[in-house]
A and B are shown apart, each in its own frame.
Chain A
Amino acid sequence: MKKQNTFIVSLAVLVAVIAAFWLLLAAPAHTGNQINMTRGVSSLAETHYELHMIILWVCVVIGILVFTAMFTSIVLHRKSRGHEAAQFSHSTKAEIAWTVIPVLILVGMAIPGTSALVQMESPGGAEMTVKITGYQWKWRYEYVDDDIAFMSSLAPESNAARQLGSGVDPRAVENYLLDVDNPLVLPVGRKIKFLITADDVIHAWWVPAFGWKRDAVPGYINEGWVEINEPGTYRGQCAELCGMDHGFMPIVVEALPEDEYDAWVSRQQSGSNTGAGAGN
């Protein structure tokens, strides 16, 4: 009778806890806002997304178990229901179990975690190299093999709108704060290596669709790589506090099919090398 009571209550609590998790983790998506990490457009991004979902699920399951146990106890073991306190204060078996089982779960998480990291740290075999330099508060892109280089800063419309008291509604500005004058143009389907550094303070170059960010540190050259799967425009932002206008140095990548990209390169080389975006 007592046992049954515990069982029914814990089942009810389990349902309530799962409902609460759903409310927190799934329901907000119905507001039409993005609430989860992007799957991105590169194999690294895909890997990191999947890794994120694995560890998220592990955490969700652990959370559900812990909270179910706890709230079952809160429902049943109250003085107001006349529950008398047991006086046990340890259980070697339980303590071993909840030390060993988490270790096993961690090992299970570390394995995909390790292989994802190995993949990230393998920029070898790249077909082209772009050097990225962070400045307060813009980016410089240098196509190392093609003798093209230009600066990329916040688009003028956004820049006007973001001034204190500008009176411009940000929603009226297309891609507010995520638009630049000269986007970085890249080909789809080629392995691209980035050399990332900075000229003044530390910045971080981040395009979520590529699956990673990397710090741009003065005096250091960091590496990163991407192989983009789909043509499109991908937006990101500086991700390391770099001073006053840290919030205003976005990154825009224009990913073109290979032939269009090659055409863009020759157009750049024939014209002036300074500052010209795609599609002009």
Chain B
Amino acid sequence: MSTIASDGTDLGHDTHDAHDDHDHKPEGFLDRWVFTTNHKDIGTLYLVFALLMFFIGGAMAMVIRAELFMPGMQLVRPDFFNQMTTMHALIMVFGAVMPAWVGFANWMIPLQVGAPDMALPRMNNFSFWILPFAFTMLLSTLFMDSGGPAAGWTLYPPLSLQTGSSFAFVVFAVHMMGISSIMGAINIIATIFNMRAPGMTLLRMPLFVWTWLITAFLLIAAMPVLAGAVTMLLTDHFFGTSFFNAAGGGDPVMFQHIFWFFGHPEVYIMILPAFGVVSEILPTFSRKPLFGYAAMVYATASIAFLSFIVWAHHMFTVGMPLEGELFFMYATMLIAVPTGVKVFNWVSTMWKGSMTFETPMLFAIGFVVLFTIGGLSGLMLAITAADLQYHDTYFVVAHFHYVLVPGAVFTLMAGAYYWLPKWTGNMYSERWGKIHFWCSAIFVNVLFFPQHYLGLAGMPRRIPDYSPQFADFNMWSSIGGFAFGASQLIFVGVIIHCVWFSKKKATAQVWEGAKGLEWTVPSPAPHHTFTKPPVVDDTMVAHADEAH
């Protein structure tokens, strides 16, 4: 197996072994996992943590859907319901999707650019180990007397300032997550700029590396803004300032501008790496180079730029001047152009390929279809006058769940199935992977599609109870929700089987059509890879020659 690794891949000191014990992994549990500076182990930590958070956030979603199963209040009090919606979003955004992407970055970026590790390994350890503390603190607020935050993940004042003393814990938890993200981003940028193997020019980088590079810049620009916003909330709450208090000369709307200046780039932080993963998987299983590589890079960059000038499309009902509303409408509509380019390029990548439909491919195709639906509803929301009806209804809930669940989350799963054999050295069960896909794909639509109808028919978001006219579709949605949640247990089963029980060994190449440096190292990827840099040439990159 190690012969396939060929030159370039240094398998440690004794070239002959890809097996665990000669790998120079640290021995004890603490040394291996707590004090680790190894990008692969830290990547694993991030991914396991993110999966745990998915299930915690998911459990909260189950509470929400159970209460909304039928009209009337059956299970929880309204204030607890609001804590659930708020915590669900905070956990999913900051605890699940973002750390999961950092986990992928840790595992794959060094392997994809031919680097021995991340540029700043100790900081890497630190940025992970902040997270368990941040989320323990955040979750602990649910058990405090004043209860958890209940003002929505957007934390709008004055409402958020009515949170009790637990609010301080929320703010500090957000600060810690922000620090973790910024450190992660710095690390990724430093790795990509300084650690690429000879010949790995920028325009030879796989798209996952490109999209993460751009995402890292978004993180560095956006997270400090969030930190500033919540710090002002903190001082307004505890130290008598009036940043957002109208009675004290402050401005509650100002908070929304600051929040969404962070918030809109944030949604792209969650989706750009997804674009990258899909742009890796579609060529592999189409056995055809990615269509329009350069256009993909430029489209990603322009989406990133535009994401900083569209924030107020979340605030169309707040009472802006006409000129402002028009500007933000036009700017938001513009985002549809590079987003469209991406979708068209993905379809063209598949066109005239020689496709097979292993689980990663199924999730990637599911992504393209369902993300497109979410993008189209985004385009509708961009039209200000129509948004005066859509805003703050279930139509918006449907929009962002389409882009986030079958968008970001499906690609996380696609990526997990795609690289699991490389991580573990074993093949996962293709049959159960496919069952997982079909259950997820069907139930995610039962869960979220009816929410479009509910929103258009007039159901506001963030309410614990509703008029019986909304009963039927809420029931569909809840049934879809429970089934979707249950389907994710299959995923855990597949992972456990793959890591510990699967008898089918993976080759280094794993997938027939896979190209790129990560497929030149053995499976499982040894603890240390590329300690001698590989030599990169055009045949190794996943797209045709870089000129295009």
Measured in the bound complex, the distance between the Cα atoms of B74 and A129 in whole Å is 41
Measured in the bound complex, the distance between the Cα atoms of B72 and A119 in whole Å is 39
Tell me whether A189 is interfacial, beta carbon within 8 Å: no
Tell me whether A264 is interfacial, beta carbon within 8 Å: no
Q: Tell me whether A220 and B246 are in contact (CB under 8 A).
A: yes
CB neighbours (8 Å) of A211 from chain B are 388-389
Interface size range of chain A in the complex: 35 or more
Measured in the bound complex, the distance between the Cα atoms of B79 and A263 in whole Å is 42
CB-nearest residue of chain A to B354: A85
Interchain CB contact (< 8 A) of B469 among A34, A78, A118, A215: A34
Cβ < 8 Å to B, chain A residues 153-171? 161-166, 168-171
CB-nearest residue of chain A to B285: A79
0/1 interface trace, chain A 196-221, chain B, CB 8 Å (1 if under): 00001110101010011111011110
Q: Tell me whether B337 and A170 are in contact (CB under 8 A).
A: no
CB neighbours (8 Å) of B385 from chain A are 47-48, 51, 113, 116-117, 119-120
Measured in the bound complex, the distance between the Cα atoms of B340 and A80 in whole Å is 30
Measured in the bound complex, the distance between the Cα atoms of B460 and A248 in whole Å is 11
Q: Tell me whether B326 and A114 are in contact (CB under 8 A).
A: yes
CB-nearest residue of chain A to B369: A67
CB neighbours (8 Å) of B376 from chain A are 59, 62-63
Q: Write the nearest CB–CB distance from B237 to chain A, whole angstroms.
A: 14
Interchain CB contact (< 8 A) of B372 among A37, A55, A63, A99: A63
Assuming the A-B contacts A95-B292, A217-B253, are A201 and B467 also in contact, with contact meaning beta carbons closer than 8 angstroms in the complex?
no
Most chain A beta-carbon contacts within 10 A, residue among B72, B322, B543: B72
Measured in the bound complex, the distance between the Cα atoms of B286 and A244 in whole Å is 51
CB neighbours (8 Å) of A88 from chain B are 291, 352
Tell me whether A24 is interfacial, beta carbon within 8 Å: yes
Q: Tell me whether B152 and A241 are in contact (CB under 8 A).
A: yes
Q: Tell me whether B329 and A212 are in contact (CB under 8 A).
A: no
Measured in the bound complex, the distance between the Cα atoms of B461 and A238 in whole Å is 10
Tell me whether B139 is interfacial, beta carbon within 8 Å: no
Tell me whether A94 is interfacial, beta carbon within 8 Å: yes
Q: Tell me whether A59 and B379 are in contact (CB under 8 A).
A: yes
Q: Tell me whether B384 and A89 are in contact (CB under 8 A).
A: no
Stretch at the interface among A141-149, A173-181, A225-233, A270-278: A173-181
Q: Tell me whether A215 and B318 are in contact (CB under 8 A).
A: yes
Q: Tell me whether B329 and A117 are in contact (CB under 8 A).
A: yes
Q: Tell me whether B355 and A78 are in contact (CB under 8 A).
A: yes
Q: Tell me whether A244 and B340 are in contact (CB under 8 A).
A: no
0/1 interface trace, chain B 151-174, chain A, CB 8 Å (1 if under): 110001011001000000000000
CB neighbours (8 Å) of B82 from chain A are 241, 243-244, 246
Measured in the bound complex, the distance between the Cα atoms of B544 and A14 in whole Å is 31
Tell me whether B348 is interfacial, beta carbon within 8 Å: yes
Tell me whether A73 is interfacial, beta carbon within 8 Å: yes
Tell me whether A109 is interfacial, beta carbon within 8 Å: yes
Tell me whether B179 is interfacial, beta carbon within 8 Å: no
Tell me whether A280 is interfacial, beta carbon within 8 Å: no
CB-nearest residue of chain A to B330: A110
Q: Write the nearest CB–CB distance from B17 to chain A, whole angstroms.
A: 35
Tell me whether B392 is interfacial, beta carbon within 8 Å: yes
CB-nearest residue of chain B to A52: B386
0/1 interface trace, chain A 97-112, chain B, CB 8 Å (1 if under): 0110011001001100
CB-based A-B contact count at 8 angstroms:
297
Most chain A beta-carbon contacts within 10 A, residue among B162, B337, B368, B385: B385
CB-nearest residue of chain A to B321: A121
CB neighbours (8 Å) of B533 from chain A are none
Q: Tell me whether A73 and B389 are in contact (CB under 8 A).
A: no
Chain A interface SS verdict (over half): mixed
Tell me whether A255 is interfacial, beta carbon within 8 Å: no
Q: Tell me whether A161 and B72 are in contact (CB under 8 A).
A: yes
Measured in the bound complex, the distance between the Cα atoms of B369 and A63 in whole Å is 9
Cβ < 8 Å to A, chain B residues 417-457? 449-450, 452-453, 456-457
CB-nearest residue of chain A to B378: A59
Q: Write the nearest CB–CB distance from B124 to chain A, whole angstroms.
A: 35
Interchain CB contact (< 8 A) of B291 among A90, A201, A241: A90
Measured in the bound complex, the distance between the Cα atoms of B463 and A248 in whole Å is 8
Interchain CB contact (< 8 A) of A89 among B72, B292, B368, B469: B292
Q: Write the nearest CB–CB distance from A24 to chain B, whole angstroms.
A: 6
Most chain B beta-carbon contacts within 10 A, residue among A56, A78, A164, A218: A164
Cβ < 8 Å to A, chain B residues 534-548? 543-544, 548
Measured in the bound complex, the distance between the Cα atoms of B298 and A30 in whole Å is 45
Most chain A beta-carbon contacts within 10 A, residue among B152, B372, B468: B468
Q: Tell me whether A218 and B333 are in contact (CB under 8 A).
A: no
Tell me whether A87 is interfacial, beta carbon within 8 Å: yes
CB neighbours (8 Å) of B7 from chain A are none
CB neighbours (8 Å) of B290 from chain A are 89
0/1 interface trace, chain B 44-82, chain A, CB 8 Å (1 if under): 000000000000000000000000000111111111001
Q: Write the nearest CB–CB distance from B352 to chain A, whole angstroms.
A: 4
CB neighbours (8 Å) of B73 from chain A are 162-166
Tell me whether A237 is interfacial, beta carbon within 8 Å: yes
CB neighbours (8 Å) of A37 from chain B are 389, 456-457
Q: Tell me whether B322 and A241 are in contact (CB under 8 A).
A: no
Show 20 A/B contacts (Cβ-Cβ < 8 Å), sorted by A: A28-B453, A48-B388, A51-B385, A67-B369, A74-B350, A77-B286, A85-B288, A99-B337, A106-B336, A109-B333, A110-B329, A176-B467, A204-B317, A212-B317, A217-B252, A218-B247, A220-B253, A237-B463, A246-B82, A247-B464
- A-side residues, CB < 8 A to B, are 24, 28, 31, 33-38, 47-48, 51-52, 55-56, 59, 62-63, 66-67, 69-70, 73-74, 77-80, 83-91, 94-95, 98-99, 102-103, 106, 109-110, 113-114, 116-121, 161-166, 168-171, 175-178, 200-202, 204, 206, 208, 211-215, 217-220, 222-223, 236-248
